[in-house]
A and B are shown apart, each in its own frame.
Chain A
Amino acid sequence: MRRALAPGLVGAVVVVLVALPLFLTPYPISLVTRILAFGLLVVSVDLLTGVTGLPSLGQIAYFGVGAYTAGMVGVHVTDNLVVQLAAGVALAALFALVTGAFVVRTSGIVFLMVTLAVGELTHRLADGLDAVGGSNGLAGIPPGTVLPGGEPLLIAGFVYWWVLAVFLLGMAVALVVSRSPLGRAMRGVREAEGRLPALGQRTYAVKLAAFVVAGAVAGAAGTAWTAQNRFVSPGDLAFSVSAIALLSVVLGGAGTLWGPLLGAAVVIVVRDELAAYVAGYGELLLGILFVVAVYALPRGIAGSRLRRVPSVRPA
């Protein structure tokens, strides 16, 4: 993990990302904006799935809480994006704390299914709750401002810069946590949960902390999604989005954080952009990509750098 990210390379990538709107037209910029928001959701899935070894299909719930909170604050309170981000992250983290208290008591395939249930229940709640627009979705979100009383962000490039800022913030939180003592304990849960208590670590607390951090990151991704689209609908929280987020993690290389980000970019480009050339076959392309990737990239895009101890099955 330590040598997974060279500071020089990270710096160069950030500079290129910041400079993009100066070179690209609005359409590709909105594509990259979408990749960044979805990518941050995928990073939150990787914090649980790859780093902590808890495969999740439920991060869409916290993404949804972030997205809807930002939208509701935008409609009813203020168009200030910083306030929307803070409110979205706070509520998503709180929701993760309340649900996580139960969910992290499970692991493995049961964790997968319980998180799936949380995701689906949130999806259906959004669909049935008239206060947030029900099945029509939450519309009429005004363009956001960054400074109080400032100009609203209407140009794709400015919206992109805001989403990039949220993305970099979320990514920084994920990286800092992953390298902190908490991150080491999370990896300990993944590799040998039974041994952690022997070292004086409370695995329940470690897993709950990881769940709340991942929920907060997913919430931030949700607010970024709303800032770009200025519209949230229950369709954004569908099971298929959770499945594709989890598979982006596997495609990219679980546990590396930056690999899943590349996985997310590949998935979005294949599904939304290449599909335009073969009308209506986006899912077919995605399916072929998944099948080929399993055989051609046994350790994901980030692959060969990650050394993982094979998991030992309890007798």
Chain B
Amino acid sequence: MGWLDANLISVLNGFALAALLFLIAVGLSLVFGTMDVLNLAHGSLSLIGAYLGVALVDEDASLGVFVLAALLAAAVGAALGAALAAMTSAINDHLRQALLTLGVALIAADVLRELFGSDPERVSAPAALAGSVDVLGRPYPVYRLSVVAVAVVIGLVLYVVLERTQAGAIVRATVADRGMVEAIGIRSQVVLLGVFGVGAALATLGGLLAGPVLGARPGLDSTVLLLALVVVVVGGLGSVRGALLGALLVGQVQTLGVSLLPGQASYLLFGAMALVLLLRPRGLLPSPYAHAGGHA
């Protein structure tokens, strides 16, 4: 128990970061899995969520206000996701999609800087969750534990919807073979619009929930995008379970790894990613429905 005792806080922080990364990355993964679109504006969506938190949640906000802000962030994200889906739907070359979405990300970054300034901002946790509780004799912020709980609930809902409902079956079918889905009379455009909307809503929601942990500042969008890309590529593109495993791994590498090996901290993340991809090029848990991949 000595080791765990010494590193408990790092491990818990790793889970909290994993929960946030999962919420943000799962949308990126599903959008790639269903639409074959690598959305480089995904980090901007989550930064928009964080800045919504800065604007709407003040120092002593009640839990109700925080939840309303979270719902609003998800709605804004869904609308932006639908817009991005419409913009990218006419373009079927990965590199040009990357050019387009990175262009959108650059524009969003400057607009956000203009609106909120260059100084780092903080989002307050709701007053009801601001304290800490004892975990094995150590105080730990309630808010971070709540984030883990929210991510678990959302992950379960996503899993059940995708695996157990007809809507989920249509999405899985679209991942596997878009042409065949069209052939049985389902407009795949609508499916894709829905997936992009939900994925983007999760990104803005994740960004707002991350506000009290990571804050909101210019540049956070590309940091989050890089982490989310690592999560989905390590986990396996287009798979919810893969995004979860990737997020858990990256969360621990970023917190526990950094506290155990401070000197090597900056090499750990990308070193781990390179190693996983060279051993398992399709990621640790690739979607069983996705095509053989390997396109860009």
Chain A 111-122: CB-based contact to B (< 8 A → 1; otherwise 0) = 111101110110
Number of interface residues of A (CB under 8 A): 47
Query: A113–B273 contact, CB under 8 A?
Result: yes
Query: B99–A287 contact, CB under 8 A?
Result: no
Query: Given A109-B296, A110-B282, do A287 and B104 touch, yes or no (CB 8 Å)?
Result: yes
Query: B94–A109 contact, CB under 8 A?
Result: yes
Number of interface residues of B (CB under 8 A): 40
Contact check: which of A102, A113, A246 meets B229 at CB < 8 Å?
A113
Complexed CA–CA distance, A55 and B233 (Å): 15
The verdict on B2 contacting chain A, using a C-beta distance below 8 Å, is no
B263's closest neighbor in chain A, by CB? A128
Complexed CA–CA distance, A271 and B106 (Å): 12
Query: A106–B100 contact, CB under 8 A?
Result: no
The verdict on A304 contacting chain B, using a C-beta distance below 8 Å, is no
Chain B positions within 8 Å of A240 at CB level: 222
Query: B103–A294 contact, CB under 8 A?
Result: yes
The verdict on B138 contacting chain A, using a C-beta distance below 8 Å, is no
Query: A251–B106 contact, CB under 8 A?
Result: no
Query: B293–A117 contact, CB under 8 A?
Result: no
Query: B294–A124 contact, CB under 8 A?
Result: no
The verdict on B110 contacting chain A, using a C-beta distance below 8 Å, is yes
Query: B103–A290 contact, CB under 8 A?
Result: yes
Secondary structure at chain A's binding surface: helix, strand, loop or mixed?
A: helix
Query: A121–B271 contact, CB under 8 A?
Result: yes
Q: How many residue pairs at the A-B interface have CB separations less than 8 Å?
A: 123
Stretch at the interface among A65-73, A176-184, A201-209, A278-286: A278-286
The verdict on A107 contacting chain B, using a C-beta distance below 8 Å, is yes
Chain A positions within 8 Å of B295 at CB level: 108-109, 311, 313
The verdict on A95 contacting chain B, using a C-beta distance below 8 Å, is no
Query: Given A55-B94, A117-B270, A311-B295, do A287 and B103 touch, yes or no (CB 8 Å)?
Result: yes
Chain A 284-302: CB-based contact to B (< 8 A → 1; otherwise 0) = 1011111101100010000
Query: B110–A284 contact, CB under 8 A?
Result: yes
The verdict on B267 contacting chain A, using a C-beta distance below 8 Å, is yes
B110's closest neighbor in chain A, by CB? A284
Chain B positions within 8 Å of A289 at CB level: 103
Query: A113–B110 contact, CB under 8 A?
Result: no
The verdict on B95 contacting chain A, using a C-beta distance below 8 Å, is yes
Complexed CA–CA distance, A210 and B107 (Å): 35
The smallest C-beta distance from A138 to any residue of chain B, in angstroms, reads 19
Contact check: which of A127, A249, A287 meets B105 at CB < 8 Å?
A287
Q: Within A221-248, which residues are at the interface with B (CB < 8 Å)?
A: 239-240, 243, 246-247
Query: A283–B106 contact, CB under 8 A?
Result: yes
The verdict on A163 contacting chain B, using a C-beta distance below 8 Å, is no
The smallest C-beta distance from A62 to any residue of chain B, in angstroms, reads 16
Complexed CA–CA distance, A116 and B271 (Å): 11
Q: Within B255-296, which residues are at the interface with A (CB < 8 Å)?
A: 266-267, 270-271, 273-274, 277-278, 281-282, 291-296
Query: A294–B96 contact, CB under 8 A?
Result: yes
Query: A110–B102 contact, CB under 8 A?
Result: no
Complexed CA–CA distance, A49 and B296 (Å): 10
25 contacts between A and B (CB under 8 A): A105-B281, A107-B296, A108-B294, A109-B237, A109-B296, A110-B293, A110-B294, A117-B270, A118-B274, A120-B270, A124-B267, A125-B267, A246-B98, A251-B99, A281-B110, A283-B109, A287-B103, A287-B104, A287-B105, A287-B109, A287-B110, A290-B106, A294-B96, A314-B292, A315-B291
What are the nearest 10 A-B pairs in CB distance? A290-B103, A287-B106, A287-B107, A284-B110, A291-B103, A108-B294, A117-B270, A108-B296, A117-B274, A124-B266
Further pairs besides A246-B95, A293-B99, A314-B291: 4, Cβ < 8 Å = A108-B293, A109-B293, A121-B267, A311-B295
